[in-house]
């Protein structure tokens, strides 16, 4: 027996793709503009998951990619004794235009090494592999139409992949089309039926999962008469919003589970904001007497707790409690399961663990607007109540040098407590905030020389900062800051990622200025 407490992957872990090989379960999740790319997770009981690495790491470079572009919707599968991973790289997304490349990599083990990528074309996104029991291999995905007078969504298409030639045939067939956008397609063959699991309703509050089926691989596909297998679009108070974009997995006992994304919003003035991004959940499902997929416990709302096997009878409470980790920066390398960067890895001379043992020396980089070389280390925020502390030893010499902890969503949404310098007042602390195209700066607080302890506190929609000298009492930095703006749901643009805490250093003169960081501590309180 195991009890699944959703989300099973908390914080920014969207577009889950699930796979079972033997007794091992794996989930791959989207990473968008963050590096390393395609996060990989492992479990043996479906309830307890660990991050085991990434598929696209060394040598993978996304510099120049726009916010919420990059690696979309990985698809993890297993065939012919190998792991297969398909993924899209969205390089531009301006108006009706999307420049997208789709790729396949394979590996003997899920931890790699992964092969050189095979280009699968650029006709759309959300491509997944279907390995037909007859031995053929197919990709199915969203076809995009850039013409402004046509609907951008021009159908779900299927195309055969020829593994011996490492290419697709180049001929795609539309197998399903609807008036609105449907995406995230995955094909399954069960008995005489081909089942097409699809996400519908967009990626926001109207998101959901539905099904279509056909006795022919190439269609036509009949849509389930029920509006959705899974959705919370009709339940705005449900704790798991935006439920959608899923895949199926079968246990060795023959039971079926549905992995899907969802968001746990926080409220600000009655409005919902998904600061944690889209997270990964699991539900029990079954096929009814007519062969249609349904939630095993009835209805169409995502369950927060899912019991596998017999209910527990020992009175234990295995729900998530407070969690904490500390990084003393005393290892040989940064742990990429915990830390992430923007678009590309930080070179060793930018993130140096050897210059001052027990400290991370960050060489300052480009500004927060850069799509190339920001000097910033980030970690996912997994709960609406969290504390992040670092020790910063930095002596900036001008306002163009700054370092400190940051709450980051993307280049147009961040809140940064920075140690910087003023010509008249010397070293000081300021909170600088970007909201869209507007940057605001708080009044400065003068601080003494030497290392500073800096704290970031998230409390639902609010963010606060505090500072202290080493061994001294905390002093609250004035003001409460709007963490709710660091969410998918704030502003006019489509945004697909989530909130990170981290630390950064800017050197806008490019003179090699550095800041030293020690003892990063992160605590989550469910």
CA–CA separation, 182 vs 141, rounded Å?
A: 10
CA–CA separation, 109 vs 74, rounded Å?
A: 17
CA–CA separation, 137 vs 217, rounded Å?
A: 12
CA–CA separation, 53 vs 111, rounded Å?
A: 7
Backbone angles phi, psi at 135, to 5 degrees: 100, -5
With CA atoms as reference, report the closest residue to 431 among 448, 400, 407: 407
CA–CA separation, 350 vs 344, rounded Å?
A: 12
Check 67, 126, 183, 516 and give the catalytic one: 183
Sequence-distant (6+) residues with CB within 8 A of 502 are 376, 377, 378, 379, 405, 406, 408
CA–CA separation, 73 vs 88, rounded Å?
A: 7
Which long-range contacts does 314-318 make (Cβ < 8 Å, 24+ apart)?
318/3, 318/5
> Helix/strand/coil (H, E, C) string of 95-109?
CCEEEEEEEEEEECC
Q: Is 183 a catalytic residue?
A: yes
For residues 53 and 68, is the Cβ–Cβ distance under 8 A?
no
Neighbours of 228 (CB within 10 A): 22
Q: Is 15 a catalytic residue?
A: yes
For residues 267 and 275, is the Cβ–Cβ distance under 8 A?
no
Query: Rounded to the nearest 5 degrees, what angle is found at the Cα of 462, between the Cα atoms of 459 and 468?
Result: 75
What are the tokens at 110? Answer: 């899920």
Q: State in Å, rounded, how far the first CA of the chain is from the last one.
A: 24
CA–CA separation, 110 vs 253, rounded Å?
A: 23
Q: Is the bond preceding residue 30 a cis peptide, omega within 30 degrees?
A: no
CA–CA separation, 281 vs 299, rounded Å?
A: 17
For residues 241 and 233, is the Cβ–Cβ distance under 8 A?
no
What are the tokens at 323? Answer: 């969690």
- Give strand pairing partners of 104: 86, 118
CA–CA separation, 352 vs 2, rounded Å?
A: 42
**Can you give the C-alpha Rg of the chain in angstroms?**
24
CA–CA separation, 502 vs 406, rounded Å?
A: 5
CA–CA separation, 215 vs 505, rounded Å?
A: 58
Check 15, 33, 126, 507 and give the catalytic one: 15
CA–CA separation, 276 vs 384, rounded Å?
A: 7
Catalytic site positions: 15, 183
């Amino acid at each position: 027996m195991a009890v699944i407490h959703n989300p099973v992957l908390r914080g920014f872990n969207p577009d889950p793709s699930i796979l079972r090989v033997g007794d091992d379960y794996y989930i791959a999740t989207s990473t968008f503009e963050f590096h390393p790319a395609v996060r990989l997770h492992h479990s043996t009981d479906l309830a307890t998951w660990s991050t085991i690495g990434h598929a696209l790491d060394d040598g993978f470079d996304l510099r120049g990619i726009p916010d919420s572009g990059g690696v979309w919707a990985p698809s993890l599968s297993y065939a012919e004794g190998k792991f297969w991973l398909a993924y899209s790289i969205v390089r531009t997304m301006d108006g009706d235009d999307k420049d997208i490349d789709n790729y396949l990599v394979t590996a003997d083990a899920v931890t790699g090494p992964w092969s050189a990528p095979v280009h699968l074309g650029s006709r759309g996104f959300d491509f997944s592999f279907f390995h037909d029991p007859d031995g053929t291999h197919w990709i199915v995905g969203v076809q995009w139409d850039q013409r402004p007078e046509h609907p951008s969504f021009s159908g779900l298409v299927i195309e055969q992949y020829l593994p011996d030639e490492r290419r697709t045939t180049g001929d795609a067939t539309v197998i399903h089309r609807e008036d609105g956008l449907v995406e995230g397609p995955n094909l399954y063959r069960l008995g005489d039926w081909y089942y097409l699991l699809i996400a519908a309703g967009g990626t926001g509050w109207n998101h959901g999962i539905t099904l279509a089926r056909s006795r022919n691989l190439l269609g036509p596909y009949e849509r389930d008469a029920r509006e959705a297998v899974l959705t919370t679009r009709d339940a705005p108070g449900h704790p798991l919003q935006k439920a959608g974009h899923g895949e199926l997995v079968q246990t060795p006992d023959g039971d079926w589970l549905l992995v899907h994304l969802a968001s746990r919003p926080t409220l600000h003035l009655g409005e919902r904001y998904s600061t944690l991004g889209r997270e990964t959940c699991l539900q029990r499902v079954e096929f009814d007497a007519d062969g249609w997929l349904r939630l095993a416990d009835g209805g169409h709302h995502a369950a927060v707790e899912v019991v596998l096997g017999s209910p527990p009878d020992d009175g234990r409470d295995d729900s998530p409690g407070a969690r904490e980790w500390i990084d003393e920066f005393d290892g040989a390398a940064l742990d990429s399961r915990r830390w992430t960067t923007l678009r590309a890895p930080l070179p060793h001379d930018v993130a140096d663990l050897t210059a001052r043992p027990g400290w991370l020396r960050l060489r300052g980089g480009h500004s927060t607007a850069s799509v190339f070389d920001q000097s910033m280390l980030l970690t996912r925020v997994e709960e609406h109540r969290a504390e992040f502390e670092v020790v910063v030893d930095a002596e900036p010499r001008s306002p163009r040098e700054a370092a400190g902890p940051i709450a980051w969503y993307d280049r147009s949404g961040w809140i940064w407590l920075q140690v910087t310098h003023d010509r008249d007042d010397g070293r000081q602390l300021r909170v600088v905030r970007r909201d869209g195209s507007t940057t605001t700066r708080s009044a400065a607080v003068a601080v003494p020389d030497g290392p500073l302890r800096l704290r970031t506190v998230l409390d639902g929609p609010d963010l606060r900062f505090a500072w202290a000298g080493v061994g001294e009492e905390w002093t609250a930095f004035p003001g409460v800051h709007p963490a709710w703006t660091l969410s998918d749901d704030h502003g006019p643009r489509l945004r697909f990622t989530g909130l990170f805490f981290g630390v950064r250093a800017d050197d806008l003169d490019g003179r090699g200025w550095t800041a030293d960081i020690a003892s990063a501590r992160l605590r989550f309180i469910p």
